[in-house]
């Protein structure tokens, strides 16, 4: 991805009380949580399937991937369907969010590199920290999160 995220449109979501952002251009749809199907033997963070308009789409829990604590499920929980690039191909994946705010414009990038110290989550999945409505948001490196896991684990 190019580094045009300074002024990019983002969707802000909440996971484990932290605010994260994903590029709005990736977001296809925001759904209420529905029935899921577990995929036995699959990697823990992506071991469910949902039916997204007749298509079988993996549902990922990024809290597991990023090492965030899992709290009680809330009524605000949503499923965000994204179109990512996986091995160069457009691929659908859904992620769980405790809460979804809105689409907005990122006001600026504070840090290109995330400090390794002082964070509870895995910094390698955060592309940058930006400012949005006077709050810090962690911009997720979505493609990296879903890239073949060998480089990260």
Partner 1 sequence: MMPTGQADIGKMQAVFLEEMGELLQDAEKALLCLADSLDDYALVGQLFRNFHTIKGGAGMVGMEPLAHYTHVVENMLDNVRRKTLPLTPDLVTLLLEALDCLKNFVSSAQGIEPLDVARLEKSHNSIVATTERKITKVNLSTPTLAPSPASVQRDQSTYIIQVHARPDFFPPLSELATVIEALGQLGNVLVISHEHSLPPLDQLQSGEFYLWRSVHLVTSANTDHILAAMVHWPTEHRVEILPLDMLPEMPENQAQIDAAVDGLPRVASATTLEKRSLDGGFAPSQPIVAASVSPPASPGNSGIVTADPDHQKSPQTVTPAPMQQLQQIPKNPGSDTADIQSVLKLGSIRVDTSKLDKLVNLVGELITVSARLDSFQSFMETRNPELAEDLLEILDDSSRIVDELQDQALTIRMVPVGSAFDPTKRLVHDYCKNTGKKAHLTIVGYDTEVDKKVAEQLSGPLQHLIRNALDHGIEPSAEREMAGKKAEGQIRLMASHQYGLIVIEVRDDGRGIDVQRVICSAREKGIIDDNRELTEREGMELIFAPAVSTATEVTEISGRGVGMDVVKRDIEALRGTIEIGSALGKGTTITLRIPTTLSIVDGLLVCVGDNRYIIPLSMVEECVELASDLGMDNGSSFLDMRGDLVPFLRLRDLFKVPGEMPLFEKIVIVSSGIRRIGMVVDRLLGNHQTVIKSLSPLHRGVQCFMGATIMGDGNVVLILDVLHLIDLGQKMEEKRRAKKRRGNL
Q: How far apart are CB 47 and partner 1 at their closest, in Å?
A: 9
Say how many C-beta atoms besides its own lie within 10 A of residue 47's C-beta.
Answer: 18
Query: Considering the rule CB under 8 A, would residue 46 count as an interface residue with partner 1?
Result: yes
Site for partner 1 in 131-150 (CB under 8 A): 146
Query: Considering the rule CB under 8 A, would residue 7 count as an interface residue with partner 1?
Result: no
In angstroms, the first-to-last Cα distance of the chain is: 22
Say how many C-beta atoms besides its own lie within 10 A of residue 52's C-beta.
Answer: 19
Query: Considering the rule CB under 8 A, would residue 89 count as an interface residue with partner 1?
Result: yes
Instruction: Report which secondary-structure segment, H or E, holds 146.
Output: helix 142-146
Query: What is the size of the binding site for partner 1 (CB under 8 A)?
Result: 27
Q: Would you give the distance in Å from CA 118 to the centre of its chain?
A: 21
Query: Considering the rule CB under 8 A, would residue 54 count as an interface residue with partner 1?
Result: yes
d(CA 68, CA 90): 27
Q: Considering beta carbons, is residue 88 or 115 the nearer one to partner 1?
A: 88
Which residues are near partner 1 by CB under 8 A?
Answer: 34-43, 46, 49-51, 53-58, 86-87, 89, 91-93, 146
């Amino acid at each position: 991805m190019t580094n045009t995220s300074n002024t990019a449109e983002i969707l802000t979501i909440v996971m484990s009380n932290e605010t994260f952002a994903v590029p709005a251009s990736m977001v296809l749809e925001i759904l209420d949580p529905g029935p899921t199907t577990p995929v036995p033997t699959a990697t823990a963070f992506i071991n469910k399937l949902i039916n997204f308009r007749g298509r079988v789409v993996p549902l990922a829990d990024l809290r597991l991937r990023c090492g965030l604590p899992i709290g009680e499920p809330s009524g605000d929980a949503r499923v965000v369907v994204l179109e990512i690039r996986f091995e160069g191909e457009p691929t659908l994946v859904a992620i769980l969010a405790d809460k979804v705010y809105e689409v907005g414009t990122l006001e600026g990038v504070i840090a290109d590199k995330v400090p390794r110290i002082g964070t509870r989550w895995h910094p390698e999945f955060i592309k940058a920290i930006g400012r949005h409505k006077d709050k810090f948001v962690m911009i997720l490196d979505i493609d990296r999160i879903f890239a073949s896991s060998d480089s990260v684990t």
